[in-house]
Amino acid sequence: MPGNDRPILIVPSVLPADFARLGEDCVSLEKAGVDRIQWDVMDGHFVPNMTFGPDVVAAIRPHVTLPFEAHLMIDNPDLYAKQFVDAGCQRLIVHAESTRHLHRSVGHVLDLGAAAAVAINPATPPDAVRYVLDMVDMVLVMTVNPGFGGQGYLATMEPKITAVREMIVRGGYDIDIEVDGGVHESTAAGAVRSGANVLVAGTGLFTDSEGLEHAVTALRARGESARV
């Protein structure tokens, strides 16, 4: 995919981590060589699951030097954006489907001094992000329906990844494409060939029998070898 000569980044979701040892697992992820950590924030309304709030993120912040990004799978993200920035997140990912005024919500994240990204669910067309591309540094194309880890990768999202990458290249934007959901060694190549360069993985990293470092290295290598 032309325009995807961007570095392959590995971003773990801590959803499959041992919540009784979350701090230790995050330290292990840093030692394993990941590029940043993604917090899957869920409110039980936007998605049928609940996870962590800003206090949990803040508790882990002093123990890890990596950047944090909050994947806000919540209704009314404007109400909580400042709390996640104050908790130590450098980037907030806002779902296009979660706010009535996406342009205003992305602008609110920028006003807080954080980087802003926009996410789109499987049924949401790529054009939903068109008029915020001048504001974000990343587009997250979900490759599962959000709410749970360990789901199957939706390869039907690959044409959408390509459509978003073409929009970015045509507009001359400096924007990463992140994929999240069912991303592991056997699915990463399709996502990268389609135009993604940031790989979010949870199950695929935490279930590697050879450990996190092996999983991170193998996933990055798979992504880099898939670039045309």
Residues that are catalytic? 40, 180
Rounded distance between C-alpha atoms, residue 60 and residue 103, angstroms: 30
Kindly state the smallest distance separating residue 75's Cβ from ligand DX5, in Å: 15
Please report whether residue 15 would count as binding ligand DX5 according to CB under 6 A: yes
Rule CB under 6 A: which of 111-140 touch ligand DX5? Answer: none
- Rounded to a whole number of angstroms, the minimum distance from the CB of residue 11 to ligand DX5 is 9
Q: How many CB atoms lie within 10 A of CB 130?
A: 12
Identify the three-state secondary structure at position 186: coil
Of 84-113, binders to ligand DX5 (CB under 6 A) are none
Residue 214 burial (CB count, 10 A): 13
Sequence letter at residue 155? A
Q: Return the residue of 40, 69, 158, 178 that touches ligand DX5, per CB under 6 A.
A: 40
User: How many whole angstroms from its chain centre is CA 170?
Assistant: 23
Q: In this complex, which beta carbon is closest to ligand DX5, that of residue 15 or of residue 116?
A: 15
C-beta of 45 vs 170, nearer to ligand DX5: 45
- Using the rule CB under 6 A, is 34 a contact of ligand DX5? no
Q: Which helix (H) or strand (E) holds 160?
A: helix 158-171
Beta strands 68-73 and 37-42: pairing type? parallel
96 vs 41: CA distance, rounded Å: 15
Per-residue binding letters, 177-196, with ligand DX5 (x by CB under 6 A): ---xxxx-------------
- The site for ligand DX5 (CB under 6 A) is made up of 13, 15-16, 40, 71, 73, 144, 146-151, 180-183, 200-204
